[in-house]
Amino acid sequence: MPPRPLLAVVAAALGLALMASAPGPGERTVDVVTVTPDATGTAVTAPATTTTTTSYAGADPATWTVRRLAAQLVFSCVDLGDLDAARRQASAGIGGITLLGSHPPRHLQARLAAVRRSARTAVLPFVASDEEGGTVQRLRDVIYRLPSARTMGGWRPARVRRTAHDYALRMRRLGVRMDLAPVADLAVPGAYIDSLGRAFSGDPDAVTARVRAWRLGMRDAGVVTVLKHWPGHGSASNSHTGPARVAPLAELEQRDLLPFDRELADGAPVVMVGHLLSRGLTVDGVPASLSGRALHYLRRSAGPDTVLLTDSLAMAAASSSLGISPVRATVRALRAGADWAMSCDAHPLRAAAAVRQALADGTIPRHQADASARRILALKARWGLAPRG
């Protein structure tokens, strides 16, 4: 590595900024971040390669404390009206924070910047929101209203892509870098998802084209998307309120899984796993989000780098209908093979503490958790989450 004065000269010449994070106990984290314009002209930060083994892009979770590792594997939820909770969670090292509710506070951009500044290491949390359009759109009052997926399903993919791109630019400006969308489920008349207009179409080809357009439009503006709800929620009942069953695996493979398989093959970075039951995929009443068998199947099709995120584990299909708490469901999901467990009850830090204990006693294998954290770190590096300056 060149001496520091020379490094500063090289950095200035190349338009680099050297940023140092506030290290955790026993850690030293240094990052070099490149600032370049993306296709929209917006500045995008991407970590440059360095020889520092504890840099943002190259940090090895195997060297982390159990506390830090456990927190990174939890994706919390906060109400838009309680962003002080988000600051506490960021300070604790939570891996991601989902914004819930539909009444954003004033000065949301500044409030979310304060959340990011609360992080104590160079690895910042993703701030995410459900921006599907229609009835599921958290930021509609601060950005603008989007049409439903059902409406956009009648558009050409190019228009869907432009719509996603324009909206994502505004999300990014606010500091929301992840969209918990698009919905890749098929529309099944009379079923829960279709009743809310959340599916693009009942045709797998039409769904794939518009899901891809949404992902690419968001990507071009610097917002990462989450493909949901694997293995396909289209025919299921409402998993918020109880168990939700879909067709047997053999049937899913012929229809519902097609948009997911095609998008994963094309590079979709994150997939959300639903709390769904399917004969041949899940057994003993355990939903896909908590099923080692289902998550192993998904890992084979998703590949080694895709991040597997659960749907909210506070939903009845993943917790109360099984007689367990969302905290317990968090541990079970990670043990089964999820990378990120979405803990949307009132106590996400309790979930992180439970994961910490599960790592300490071997309930969750350390090597498995390290692999999940590496995927998450790689995702954050790819999507331009810079260290705190």
The residues assigned a catalytic role are 240, 311
Euclidean distance between CA atoms 373 and 14, whole angstroms: 30
Whose structure tokens read 């919905």?
183
Euclidean distance between CA atoms 389 and 386, whole angstroms: 8
C-alpha closest to that of 186 among 212, 134, 149: 149
